[in-house]
Amino acid sequence: MNEMIGNEGEREGRSSMILHIIYAMAVIAAALVFFYFGYRTGISSSAAPVSSQQVVAEEVRNVYVVCTKNGKLCIYERSPQGESLIASERVSTEVFPLSDRERLEAGIEFETMAQAQAVFEDFVN
């Protein structure tokens, strides 16, 4: 009788161990599938489609121009809608070197307002 009890205990232990192994394999397989498809989805959808309107909008940027007009040093913002005066200050351009005067008459373009403002302030001071 003790032999039967011992054999049953071994069977239960083995079946329990087999169930644990099967369970662990299922969890690992599920994790691998989850990460694989998550990775694949991330790769395929990481680049959002760009419409032609977005491309055009990015290419059209405002430009800031520092120039002289009518005895004033001016900052203008140029955009597709036109040109608008941002700031102006009466200055005597005669004190500037000839090369600076020529550049200011033609207009010096900048990508950012901060750059234009820095140059404007340098000439005003």
Tens of pLDDT, residue by residue over 4-20, are 555 666 777 787 878 77
> What pLDDT shows up at residue 11?
73
In the DSSP assignment, the letter for residue 112 is S
Q: Where are the domains of the chain?
A: 1-48, 57-124
Closest by alpha carbon to 93, among 81, 82, 83, 106?
106
> What pLDDT shows up at residue 69?
92
> What pLDDT shows up at residue 23?
73
> What pLDDT shows up at residue 56?
52
110 and 119 Cβ atoms separated by less than 8 Å: yes
